[in-house]
Each structure stands twice: as C-alpha cells, then as structure tokens.
Amino acid sequence: MPGSTVKTEAVVLRSIRYGEADRILHLYSKTRGRIGAIAKGARKPKSRFGGRLEPFFRLDLVLHEGRGDLLTVTGVTTVDGYPRLRSSGPALSAGARACDAVLRLLDSAEANPPAYNLLCRYLALLDDPAAERAAGLETALAFRLKLALVAGFVPELASCARCGEAEHLVGFSGAAGGVVCAGCEGDAFPLSEEAHGFMVAALAQPLSEAPAAESLALRQVERAVGETLEHHAHVQLRAAA
C-alpha cells in the first residue's frame, strides 16, 4: 500500500457518521495539530474500534496517510475515555464547548503541544469527581483565556492596548485586542475591575484554580475574549454556558 504510517496521540473533537458503516473524525493531535480521518467499518457491530471513536476520547492512533485529505485509522487504543465526564450533563456540555472552541480556533496541521495539553487537562478536570467547579462558567472562561493564549491571541491586560497607559483602564476593545484607558475608549465597552482581575488571575493560575467572580464580571470576560478572537482570529465561539 503506497503512503506512510503516522502514529500519534489525539483527542476526538467530532465524530460524524459517514456512508454505510464508516465514521469521519475531526481529531486534535499531539504531534500534527488538526487531523481529519476516516474509520472504515467503525459502525459495524463487531468493529475492532469498539465505541472509542466518540468525542472526548483520548486515543493512541495508528493512521495511514495516502494521497487524499483524510487519513485512514488502522489502529486505536484508549489513553483515557473520561467515563465520569460522560455521565454528567454539565461536564458533557462544557467538554463539547471546549472541543468546539478547539475546532474553530486551532485548524492548522502544525503541532501545538501546549494547546493539546490544555485540552487534555480540561477534559481530565471535568472527569475528576473532586473538581466540583470544573464544569462551571469560571473554569470554562479560564480555559478560553488559556486557549487564546496558546493560540497566540491573548488579550493585552497589563496596560492600555492603544497608548500603553498603565492607569485608569476602564474599558475593553476587541479591535485593540485588550484593555483600554479612559482616553482611548472609542469602540470599547466598560470593563469592571473585577472582570479585569479575573482575566489576569485566570491566566496566571492553574485551570483547576480558576478565580471566582460575579456573573456580571464573567459576562464581560466572555465578551472580551469573544471580541478579541473575532477581530484577530476571525473566529466566533459558541456561548460559554
């Protein structure tokens, strides 16, 4: 068979039924970024792939790369199936939003190990019975901020994104890509100190220690991240909760 063999670890972001018994997979891999693959016969009752080719599964894959756009899955073993995540509605919903954000924001075939590790870390946290806040909005927004960071679109938070002023930062501008001062407000929306503080702390702390904040501040954070990605990555994310 012409072509080559690719071995990589990957998370299933999306799994689509295809034809009589196949599946098309959107994967985020550790070593090659985004991969599109086909698993032939995956929906047959006795398929050797079992039920592993479903969203959130973290897999060790063997793929065949031929001339087409899609690689062909030839071997698969489970690294983690996150069974507790799958049995909780809020965790499933948070995991689905995370996979959707990765699908929209990271579409290149270049490896981005921090992005891969961040996604796995969040799925593991959603699967952890001791991590009670993992499926909440604070952790979802901390994930988005960190994802924006590893994708190269982190908002400027230390000083005015337009003039560099470090004091009187009162607004946020997606076009400017960060916080702005009173003199540069222009197209900005008002950003509370609490929302600003949340973003700084969420980026500095582990995902498991996402800071707490009131819902008004969290809405501002979601808008700030969303508008930054719209202006600079040309990507629109789904609502965070």
CA distance 103 to 34: 8
User: Considering only 79-87, 120-128, 139-147, 164-172, which stretch makes contact with Zn ion by CB under 5 A?
Assistant: 164-172
Binding residue count for Zn ion, defined by CB under 5 A: 6
Q: H helices then E strands: how many in the chain?
A: 6, 8
- Least CB distance from residue 187 to Zn ion, whole Å? 13
227 Cβ neighbours under 8 A, 6+ residues apart: 172, 173, 174, 175
192 within 8 A of 216, measured Cβ to Cβ: yes
Q: How many CA atoms lie within 13 A of 22 on its CB side?
A: 12
User: Considering only 32-40, 62-70, 104-112, 183-191, which stretch makes contact with Zn ion by CB under 5 A?
Assistant: 183-191
- Least CB distance from residue 161 to Zn ion, whole Å? 8
Return the residue of 184, 218, 224, 237 that touches Zn ion, per CB under 5 A: 184
Q: Is 207 in the site for Zn ion (CB under 5 A)?
A: no
Q: Is 173 in the site for Zn ion (CB under 5 A)?
A: no
Q: Counting beta carbons within 10 angstroms of the beta carbon of residue 221, is it exposed (0 to 12), middle (13 to 18) or buried (19 or more)?
A: buried
User: Considering only 27-35, 81-89, 162-170, 200-208, which stretch makes contact with Zn ion by CB under 5 A?
Assistant: 162-170
Q: Is 34 in the site for Zn ion (CB under 5 A)?
A: no
- Least CB distance from residue 162 to Zn ion, whole Å? 5
CA distance 228 to 213: 21
What single-letter amino acid sits at 141? L
Return the residue of 37, 181, 195, 221 that touches Zn ion, per CB under 5 A: 181
φ, ψ for residue 67, nearest 5 deg? -90, -25
- The full DSSP string for 85-142 is HHT-HHHHHHHHHHHHHHHHH--SSS--HHHHHHHHHHHHHHT-TT-TTTTSHHHHHH
Q: Is 158 in the site for Zn ion (CB under 5 A)?
A: no
Q: Is 163 in the site for Zn ion (CB under 5 A)?
A: yes
**Which residue, 135 or 184, has its beta carbon nearer to Zn ion?**
184
User: Considering only 113-121, 128-136, 146-154, 159-167, which stretch makes contact with Zn ion by CB under 5 A?
Assistant: 159-167
- Least CB distance from residue 176 to Zn ion, whole Å? 9
Return the residue of 26, 52, 162, 196 that touches Zn ion, per CB under 5 A: 162
Return the residue of 60, 80, 165, 194 that touches Zn ion, per CB under 5 A: 165
**Which residue, 99 or 160, has its beta carbon nearer to Zn ion?**
160
Cα-based torsion angle of the residue sequence 210, 84, 40, 108 in order, rounded to the nearest 10 degrees: 0
Residues that bind Zn ion (CB under 5 A): 160, 162-163, 165, 181, 184
